[in-house]
Chains A and B, each alone.
Chain A
Amino acid sequence: KAGVTQTPRYLIKTRGQQVTLSCSPISGHRSVSWYQQTPGQGLQFLFEYFSETQRNKGNFPGRFSGRQFSNSRSEMNVSTLELGDSALYLCASSMALETQYFGPGTRLLVL
C-alpha cells in the first residue's frame, strides 16, 4: 500500500498570503489528522477529520482550517500568514483512530 502523501513538499509564502496544503491518506483510512512542528513548540495537534467531519480541534487560531473530501483526502488552509506559521506541517492517517501513520510533511516558510 502507498503511504500518506502530502503536497507540496516545500512552500515559500509572504506574510498576509494564504496557503492550502493537501494530504492523501493511506487507502482505506478514513481519519486524517494534522500537526504542526516547530522548534519551539514541538509537534502540536491542529485538527482531525473523519468521514468529512471535523471531530477534534487543537488550540490554534481560526486562521487555520481544514476539510476532508468524500475520498478521505484532506486539505488544510492557513489564511493571513504570519512569520510564526513557518513550520513543518504533518498529516497522519489512521483506520481505527489509534495508530497514526504520518506523511513526509510540507515545509512552509513565511517571509
Chain B
Amino acid sequence: DQQVKQNSPSLSVQEGRISILNCDYTNSMFDYFLWYKKYPAEGPTFLISISSIKDKNEDGRFTVFLNKSAKHLSLHIVPSQPGDSAVYFCAASTSNTGKLIFGQGTTLQVKP
C-alpha cells in the first residue's frame, strides 16, 4: 500500500522557468511533510518541509504548498537552474515516530 505517491516519474523544464513537482498521500495521520533532493549513490539532501498546520512554506527559490483536503502537496522551484537536476522525493511522517514514508521520486531535468 503506497501511502505517498509521486505519479510523475520525470519532469523536464527549461532553465529559468518554474518546476512543479507533485505528491499525493493517503494517510490523514501524516502531519509533517518534507522534500529531499537526491543524486545517485548519495544520501538525500533536505530541501524544505511543512507542518500540517500550514499551507505554504517558502525558502529562497523553493516553496512547498500543502492542500490537506486533497491530501496533496507540491514543490515549486523558481527559477529552475541546471544544478537542480536530480531526483526529488517527497516524504511524510506522523509526529514522534522517526519514520519517514517516501514517494517513488520524480527525476527533474532542467535544460540550459
Main secondary structure on chain A at its contact with chain B? strand
Q: A88 to B98, Cβ gap below 8 A?
A: no
Interface size class of B (residues with CB under 8 A): 20 to 34
How many Cβ-Cβ contacts under 8 Å join chain A to chain B? 64
Give the interface segment out of B11-19, B44-52, B62-70, B73-81.
B44-52
Pick the residue among B43, B89, B100 that contacts A45 (CB under 8 A).
Answer: B100
> Which of the residues A6, A35, A97, A101 comes within 8 Å of B96, measured between beta carbons?
A97
CB <8 Å contact, A45 and B46:
no
Majority secondary structure of chain B interface residues (helix, strand, loop or mixed): loop
User: Which B positions have Cβ atoms within 8 angstroms of A?
Assistant: 32, 34, 36, 41-46, 49, 89, 91, 93, 95-105
Q: Which residues of A contact B (CB under 8 A)?
A: 4, 6, 31, 33, 35, 42-45, 48, 50, 55-56, 58, 88, 90, 92, 94, 97-105, 107
14 A–B pairs (Cβ distance < 8 Å), ordered by A: A4-B43, A42-B105, A43-B91, A48-B99, A58-B99, A90-B43, A90-B44, A98-B93, A99-B46, A100-B98, A102-B43, A104-B42, A105-B41, A105-B42
